Structure 1
Amino acid sequence: MTTNPTPLVPPTAAPAAGRPADAERPPLRILLTILELAALGVVGSAVLGILSAALGVGLGMLFVLGAGVFVLLGLVYALYGVAWFEVRRVGDLYAQDLTDLQWRPRTRPGFWGWVRNVARQSIDGRMWKVILNFVLAAVAGTIVLRLAWGAVWSGFTAFAPLTGRGEVEGPWGSLIATPWAPLVGILGVLASLAGIVGLALLHRTLSRSLVIPDRAAQLSEQVRTTSAQREGAVRAADLERTRIERDLHDGVQPRLVSVGMTLGLAQQKIDTDPVAAKALIDEAHTSTKAAITELRQLARGIHTSVLDDRGLDAALSALAGRSHIPVQLDVRIEPGVTGAGSGCRDAEAAVYFAIAESLTNAAKHSRASECRIVVRSRDGGLWARVEDNGMGGAQVQPGGGLDGITNRILAAGGTFRLDSPAGGPTSLEVMVPCAS
């Protein structure tokens, strides 16, 4: 079975320090907007033509052995790509650190799970708002090109008296007397330039409305995100406390009680039966070392020192070395993403404990013969995938290990996805952003 992922959209960040704000250098910003609109007038029109043709082909072939379905599914990917580009373009143009458009995570495995995932993406509201902004920008760009040509034509018209002709051709086949040509040409240039600037300002307004979230929406999203993180942190801490209490009560405490009773018996026999007393002391010594080992493992479950001393790669290598299941470890993290001062300490800890709990669950329940762990630095954070070839059927149970993973990842502001159909394999993916 597949659990619903627990997505947590990070709050839209404020403009980075030192980056020019949208309100700064307005002439340059307007000029860049005009240039981009002109480019979209050429490229955007072609893209819209291709997308429209794909839509027509998909609908036309919909009832021809269902082939049109695959064309429409491919169209969704194309629309997503255009929307992703548009978010990046508007963010760079107006110096806004916008959250990239995110593809909706899959909630079911298999072919029909993929189809359902694409269908859910096709009704994503944010994607369609961004597509609308792209369409309007392409239309505005086409008009900008026309106005630019009108400005050039008006400029030539203003110098018509130099040709010595009595009349010059005007718009829509009209004729303009040469003495009036300079005035008409100047007015045409001014009107064309005013129209171009007006379209640039209109594009800015529409982009702010359709692509750039308003301040109230940002604050609302930040409140929702913070509340979800706080609830996850509280739940994770409660589960961790319960686990520690259970481990102490079921493991270390009975062993220490046994050590105390054994030493008491040894004390009673030390005068009458020194050999038996020595054997009891040896037994107590062995039990004490075992209790120390259990306490060390318990402490490692709370905090692992190697993670701070040598980083995530070394900590995972040590974890894989202690695993009862053979582990293939593939860790590729960009230099500077982790380590002291990187802002990724919480992300490293969350990923480490998620992997550790996954290996523990696999060893206890999955009957797996091998496990593969992949860790990558991605989108300013850490992405990890744990997969085993076990029997599958893993579920998130309240108070269980997977529930602890979910809440720990949620508290760190990340996403969690479990895919475990009956019969296996089981895969778990987590994505945790690094603190800025």
Structure 2
Amino acid sequence: MTTQTATPPQENPARPPLRILLTILELAGLGVLGAAIFGGLSGLFGAGLGLLFVFGIGIFLLIGLVYALFGLGWFEVARIDALYRAGIAPLRLRSSARTGFAGWLASIGRQSIDGRMWRAVANFALACIGGAVVLRLFWSLVWSAFISFAPFTSEETVIGPFGSTIETGWAPLIGILGVLASAAGIVGIALLHRVLALAIVVPSREAELTEKVRATTAQREGAVRAADLERTRIERDLHDGVQPRLVSVGMTLGLAQQKIDDDPAAAKDLIAEAHTSTKAAITELRQLARGIHASVLDDRGLDAALSALAGRSHIPVSLDVRMDGRCSRDAEAAVYFAIAESLTNAAKHSRASEARVIVRLREGSTLWARVEDNGMGGAQVQPGGGLDGIANRILAAGGTFRLDSPQGGPTSLEVNVPCAS
């Protein structure tokens, strides 16, 4: 899931006259382009419905329409935020917890009913209508200013609106009133646009609080689930790995103690065997500790921690990390865990011969990572499995998780985590 927050509207540092002028210019531009944009969207919708049963071509057109509407909504939210400094969170694509092609279709379905996107599109439509009115009022203002100079001509009458005629003597008064009325109408539409835009695009306080509660609840559930899976993993590793090895060391030392008097050579071999097993147990404990917490992550950052992780990997790993700064400890730990678990799965289950890890600190303070391998694919999120642990760990950090693993491969896993998580 994606956590979206919005702050209450703030005043634009630009002076009111400049803000009104910018609003008028933007409305005029939308008045020119609006008809063409909505004409294209209507054509895409009509073609999608018309070709829906022609080899399913219409489905692709309708999916394209959803993306086009999202792009339009994203533009409108960004435009209102830049114009009025409203502190609005950018519009983001809705994601689904499901993976693969079914997850992608589910995301499209969720996006098509996203209320925030439709509010932005509705506001864009209102802005286009307002822009068309602004253009008409602008031409009315020009016409009014023009007829104000009618007495300087030799004409006895001038052409008025709707084909009417106006005596030249009345033209200056009517022209001045027309200029004032047109200018007032243009400014009024600009002010009305601001009120409507902030009311429609900016989430209400109740909606914002509801979204925060929902996001917090989901993060809490993800954190609880991730902690439970981590505890289960540690118990399993201790029970299946370190514990039997230490039991074996104890039994070997017991045999050596019995033979030390009668057969010193055999006892010496048993002690050497126990020593080797002890070192292997220490190695397993260190690896288990790294899975719980990587100290190098705190000391030297995510790049160094991933370099050490790639060096210990059982398959060759191509590492591409580009970060200009550091993120929060929780964000880096979540991404590190996701990459480490993905490489472990690739080495154990996918029969991959190589893997690639890409990490970027994206604009907007988002930590993005992608892990790819050339294995046989078919990976799925199973309750209690490693991928389930990744999904819950990322969810607990307020991020998103996406898995694409068709049969036959390749497998790719992407995570996005806000740096301030």
When normalised by structure 1's length, the TM-score is 0.84
Residue matched to 1:200: 190
> Does the C-alpha gap of structure 1 residues 105 and 286 become closer, same or farther in structure 2, counting only changes over 3 Å?
same
Shift of 1:95: 0.8
> Does the C-alpha gap of structure 1 residues 21 and 331 become closer, same or farther in structure 2, counting only changes over 3 Å?
farther
SS of the residue aligned with 2:214? helix
Alignment partners' CA distance in 1, 2:218 and 2:52: 42
- Percentage identity across paired residues of the two chains: 71
Residue matched to 1:51: 41
Q: State whether residues 99 and 403 of structure 2, in contact with CA within 8 Å, keep that contact through their aligned partners in structure 1.
A: no
* Farther-moved stretch of structure 1 (75-84 vs 87-96): 75-84
Residue matched to 1:366: 350
Quick one: which amino acid aligns to residue 146 of structure 1?
R
Q: State whether residues 351 and 375 of structure 2, in contact with CA within 8 Å, keep that contact through their aligned partners in structure 1.
A: yes
Shift of 1:409: 0.5
Matched, 1:31 2:21: yes
Residue matched to 1:238: 228
> Does the C-alpha gap of structure 1 residues 210 and 362 become closer, same or farther in structure 2, counting only changes over 3 Å?
same
Matched, 1:387 2:372: yes
> Does the C-alpha gap of structure 1 residues 359 and 309 become closer, same or farther in structure 2, counting only changes over 3 Å?
same
Shift of 1:382: 2.2
1:377-416 correspondence to structure 2 within 5 Å: 377-379=361-363, 380-416=365-401
The one of 244, 259, 263 aligned to 1:254: 244
SS of the residue aligned with 2:314? coil
Q: Which runs of 5 or more structure 2 residues have no equivalent in the other structure?
A: none
Alignment partners' CA distance in 1, 2:107 and 2:395: 22
Q: Which runs of 5 or more structure 1 residues have no equivalent in the other structure?
A: 1-7
> Does the C-alpha gap of structure 1 residues 252 and 231 become closer, same or farther in structure 2, counting only changes over 3 Å?
same
Residue matched to 2:298: 308
Alignment partners' CA distance in 2, 1:135 and 1:34: 16
> Does the C-alpha gap of structure 1 residues 48 and 405 become closer, same or farther in structure 2, counting only changes over 3 Å?
same
Q: State whether residues 344 and 381 of structure 1, in contact with CA within 8 Å, keep that contact through their aligned partners in structure 2.
A: no
* Farther-moved stretch of structure 1 (359-368 vs 129-138): 359-368
Residue matched to 1:3: none
Residue matched to 2:322: 333
Shift of 1:72: 4.5
| Larger RCO, structures 1/2 (Cα 8 Å, 6+ apart) | 1
1:124-203 correspondence to structure 2 within 5 Å: 124-163=114-153, 165-203=155-193
When normalised by structure 2's length, the TM-score is 0.87
Quick one: which amino acid aligns to residue 399 of structure 2?
G
Shift of 1:254: 3.3
Alignment partners' CA distance in 2, 1:79 and 1:291: 57
Alignment partners' CA distance in 1, 2:254 and 2:275: 13
> Does the C-alpha gap of structure 1 residues 69 and 229 become closer, same or farther in structure 2, counting only changes over 3 Å?
closer
1:188-231 CA distance string (max 9 Å, x none)? 22211221122112222322233221121111111111111111
1:387-431 CA distance string (max 9 Å, x none)? 333343333222221111111000111111223344444332222
> Does the C-alpha gap of structure 1 residues 11 and 140 become closer, same or farther in structure 2, counting only changes over 3 Å?
same
Q: State whether residues 333 and 375 of structure 1, in contact with CA within 8 Å, keep that contact through their aligned partners in structure 2.
A: yes
> Does the C-alpha gap of structure 1 residues 72 and 243 become closer, same or farther in structure 2, counting only changes over 3 Å?
closer
Residue matched to 2:418: 433
Residue matched to 2:335: 351
Alignment partners' CA distance in 2, 1:63 and 1:262: 73
Alignment partners' CA distance in 2, 1:109 and 1:255: 40
SS of the residue aligned with 1:348? helix
Alignment partners' CA distance in 2, 1:24 and 1:332: 39
Alignment partners' CA distance in 2, 1:195 and 1:81: 31
Q: State whether residues 396 and 402 of structure 1, in contact with CA within 8 Å, keep that contact through their aligned partners in structure 2.
A: yes
SS of the residue aligned with 2:170? helix
> Does the C-alpha gap of structure 1 residues 202 and 167 become closer, same or farther in structure 2, counting only changes over 3 Å?
same
SS of the residue aligned with 1:366? coil
Task: State how many pairs are aligned.
Answer: 419
Alignment partners' CA distance in 2, 1:123 and 1:33: 29
* Farther-moved stretch of structure 1 (424-433 vs 120-129): 120-129
SS of the residue aligned with 2:416? strand
Q: State whether residues 10 and 87 of structure 2, in contact with CA within 8 Å, keep that contact through their aligned partners in structure 1.
A: no
Shift of 1:66: 6.2
Quick one: which amino acid aligns to residue 126 of structure 1?
R
SS of the residue aligned with 1:383? strand
> Does the C-alpha gap of structure 1 residues 13 and 132 become closer, same or farther in structure 2, counting only changes over 3 Å?
closer
Residue matched to 2:214: 224
Shift of 1:35: 1.5
1:29-50 CA distance string (max 9 Å, x none)? 3222112101111122332333
Q: CA RMSD in A?
A: 3.1
The one of 4, 7, 10 aligned to 2:3: 10
1:356-390 CA distance string (max 9 Å, x none)? 11222222222333333333333431222223333
Q: State whether residues 6 and 203 of structure 2, in contact with CA within 8 Å, keep that contact through their aligned partners in structure 1.
A: no
Alignment partners' CA distance in 2, 1:271 and 1:58: 89
SS of the residue aligned with 2:146? helix
Alignment partners' CA distance in 2, 1:355 and 1:174: 76
The one of 67, 70, 75 aligned to 1:85: 75
Residue matched to 1:5: none
